[in-house]
Amino acid sequence: MAKEIIRIGTRGSMLALQQSGMIKDTLENLWPEISVELQVIKTTGDKITDVPLAKVGGKGLFVKEIEDALLDGSVDLAVHSMKDVPAVLPEGLQIGAVPEREDPRDVLIMRQGKDIADLPKGAIIGTSSLRRAAQILKLRPDFEIRMLRGNLETRIRKLHEGQYDAIILAAAGLRRMGWNDKISAFLDPAQFVPAIGQGALGIESRVGDERIARILEPLNHPQTAFAVQAERSLLKELEGGCQVPIGGHARLSGDSVELVGIVASLDGTEVFRSHQCAGVNDAVELGKRVAAELLRSGAKRILDEVYKSSVKPLEPEIKT
């Protein structure tokens, strides 16, 4: 008897294929009666690589075409890096499972040295993330930030070609690729707050597709799901995306969830922070409360300024 085929929509980068491949293997081990196929879909974010995401629409650029394929039935589910998924999903789609989270921290990869203090005055730091740029400038205002786009291997190659003194990446992607040895320094998430959902995968499916809901159920990790729920609630309340330096990191301890959220000015001179706890069943309300405190403390002014004016692009990267 032929196996039932399940199609996963995925981006085509090495990391995206690695992540989707992990989900494929897990599903096939759990459900021997199904065969999982990966369907590579090129997103707008993959096509536009020469300008900051903040200038061309932000997060949804890495998921829209894949979500379109889900909605028209071309694929049965999609595997995303959760930090790429906008706070509001298209009607008819849902996050069907959130597997256990990888390391949520940001990391430095440096050509020389093992700590941020080892970088020289005026060091050139590569990142296309406004959140990362703002926070690294808060720690070291002397740094020069230059735009860095591309997949993991491209970014690391550009570093070693001498275009940057250091680059900032997510630990999770490097760990999933088995590239732990490339990491120079981990950035403490209490001080350097990660992106919303960083380190977590989101498996997106169609609302009402009971067949897919059944096979995804064992993949969901409740602790990770609660933490990501709190973070995404914060993001939704702040109406944020790649255009604004917003960070959020939630951790579970027993039956409670602890959430720290930040909103930063683009130059890193101002960083508004809120840190609160709640029961896991109040994760969504916790995100709303942290957002409200941030707005009261002065973040609303930063958000209003950014939304009213076009974001100044980071300095162009040195061309190869």
* Residues marked as catalytic: 84
Burial 58-69 (b: 16+ CB within 10 A, else e): bbbbbbbbbbeb
Nearest to 230 by CA among 182, 181, 281: 281
Q: With contact defined as beta carbons under 8 Å apart, do 236 and 260 qualify? A: no
Nearest to 146 by CA among 122, 170, 171, 117: 122
**Which ranges of the chain does DSSP label H, i.e. alpha helix?**
14-30, 44-47, 53-56, 64-71, 130-139, 152-160, 171-176, 210-216, 222-238, 283-294, 300-308
Q: With contact defined as beta carbons under 8 Å apart, do 23 and 201 qualify? A: yes
Please calculate the CA angle 320-182-177 and round it to the nearest 5 degrees.
90
